[in-house]
Each structure stands twice: as C-alpha cells, then as structure tokens.
Amino acid sequence: MGLLAFSYNVMLDGCVDHREGIADDESHDYFTGLMNAHGAMLWGRVTYELMEEYWPAVARGDISAPPALLRWAQQLEAKPKYVVSSTRTAYSWNNSHLLSGELRACVLRLKDQYPDGVLLGSGKLATALDRMELIDEYHFLIHPVIAGHGPTLHQAGLQKSRHLELISAQPLSSGAIAASYRRVR
C-alpha cells in the first residue's frame, strides 16, 4: 500500500496562505520533486479550482513562465489528479477524477492503487483525513515569513496531537526549510 503524504507551504507563524510564501525556482523544483515521487495528487475542490485556473495554461504555453514553473506545470498536467467534492462532478483538466463515495474508503483505495503514494495538497481536506489518521507523511516548506494573519493549518482542530519523526530537513537558498516528517502516532 502506498503512503498518503501531505505537502504544504507554511509561514513561521503558522499561516498557510499560499500568497505569503516565497515562490522561486528552488521552491517550485522542491514541489516538482515531491510530485514526481508520488503516483497521484489529491485535492479538495477549492484547491483544485485554484490550480485549474492557472497551471493548464502554463503547461500549454498560454502563460509565459520561468523553466521551474513550466516543469511543474507540464508534469502536473500528466499526473493523475483526484478531487474530493460534493458540489462538482465534471472535470475537464487532463487526468482529473472525482472521488465519490465514503471518503475513508476512497482514500484507502487510492493508497492501494498507487504504490508510490498519493500527494495531498489541500488544508481543509488534510484536516479531515488527519482526523481519520490516514496521513502517513508530512512535507512542509517552512518559509521565513511572519504573515500576521491566517488561515492556519488544522484551524478546525484535531481530536489529539500528532507526534512526528523527522525524515529530512533541507535549507533552501531563500531561507525556507523543506522539512519532511513521518507520523509516529
């Protein structure tokens, strides 16, 4: 069975607003590497729609982008993308699929289907899946930014704390730190 890995940008004060982080070539290369290490992507509808608005156009060359962003966009285009939504059923973006049915069972099937694992990139969905104890690894890009506002990770709360074991930590030239953890309990 593959692992479910949660990947997210986070500021030093816990803010997870994607507009606050440092979006440079090195950070995009980091996320491209994570994506390539996993068999599929998993998002909630809101995150999917944010991604769908921009990245397919970059992959097609409709929007000019630096090489690191173009690599991310082109590889994301080919990657299977799964969406959890109770309101949307049609998806035109290449390799996009609706997860329908009971969430826990659907995610367990995805983990079985992809031995290389599934990369999750939606905060609210991560909270729901963390409450079900389905997340196996956490990959955070910790930015040297104090945003001074929310939203924050797991803002809606968990029933109990997650204890994690450090897998790796890598500083980036921007001052951000790519930190990977495995769930202990």
Q: Are 95 and 78 in contact (CB under 8 A)?
A: yes
The amino acid at residue 47 is T
**Backbone phi and psi for residue 6, each to the nearest 5 degrees, phi listed first:** -100, 125
- How is residue 15 written in tokens? 């803010």
Position 156 scores a pLDDT of: 87
Give the C-alpha separation, 45 to 122, whole Å.
Answer: 9
DSSP 8-state secondary structure symbol assigned to residue 115: T
Residue that has been written with the tokens 């082109």 in this structure? 74
CA 58, 78, 169, 132 torsion-angle sign? positive
Position 57 scores a pLDDT of: 97
The amino acid at residue 74 is Q
- How is residue 149 written in tokens? 């506002």
Q: Tell me which residues of the chain have a pLDDT lower than 50.
A: none
Residues in CB range of 115: below 8 A, 6 or more apart: 1, 2, 39
